[in-house]
Amino acid sequence: MSSRLLLRHTAVVLAIAAACLLGAALPASAQKPDAELKGITAVGLVIEEMGAQALSCGFSPDTFGKAVTTILTAGGLKVLRNADEDTFLYVKVNSLSVPSGLCVSRFDVTLYTHTNAKLSYQLEPVLVQVSLISAGGLSGGSVPGHAENVLKSVKQYVDQFVSRIVAANK
């Protein structure tokens, strides 16, 4: 074997050995879809405080809280109101109303959790908040019916989240 061929062969063997060593050093991770949702049995629920404009558009935090709680409990999840210490569902609605009776709202629904993570720029792991699932939208319309339309979309998102959590736990 020529020295050039031997050198190339050695480089390939070393590259394969290095890849095996690096691969073995990485922690195993779940590969199934929605694996991060497996094991969720309880969620906190936080409905962000709605401002005066949202209230003038017909929004009610209590109505949103009850509707979302109903969906979560129907999916077999325990709901902890106003709890954001562990895994929690965060519902946020920002609205703008104009004197003509038109309302425009941005709404977001996000399932968060907390975990310790080692960041590339720090030596010690730190507690971080992680978004597991997120959905949102924009809606506009006249005051009568506007809040109901937004609530309908929020409920659809929550229902999708619950379906994914239930499927991950099968």
Alpha-helical regions (H) of 57-142: 61-74
Does residue 20 fall inside a structural domain? no
What is the predicted pLDDT for the residue at 100? 82
CA atoms within 13 A on the CB side of 65: 15
**Which residue segment(s) compose the domain that 69 sits in?**
40-168
Looking up tokens 């929690």 gives: 88
In the prediction, which pLDDT does 23 show? 52
Look at strands 42-47 and 102-117 and give their pairing: unpaired
Q: 163 vs 13, 41, 61, 132, CA distance in Å?
A: 47, 13, 24, 14
Question: What was the pLDDT predicted at 5?
Answer: 52
pLDDT value of residue 101: 82
Output the pLDDT for position 21.
52
Instruction: Quote the number of domains for the chain.
Output: 1
Give the span between the Cα atoms of 159 and 170, in whole angstroms: 17
Domain presence at residue 65: yes
| pLDDT number for residue 8 | 54
pLDDT tens readout for residues 6-53: 555 555 454 565 555 555 454 555 577 889 999 999 999 999 999 889
pLDDT score at 98: 80
CB 68 within 8 Å of CB 154: yes
12 within a domain of the structure (yes/no): no
Chunk the chain into consecutive blocks of 10 residues (it has 170) and report each block's average pLDDT, rounded to whole numbers. 54 52 53 88 93 90 94 95 86 89 93 92 92 95 91 96 94
pLDDT of residue 166: 95
The answer to whether position 19 is within a domain reads no
Strand order in the sheet with 126-142: 78-81, 42-47, 88-97, 102-117, 126-142
Q: What angle do CA 149, 142, 64 make, to 5 degrees?
A: 35
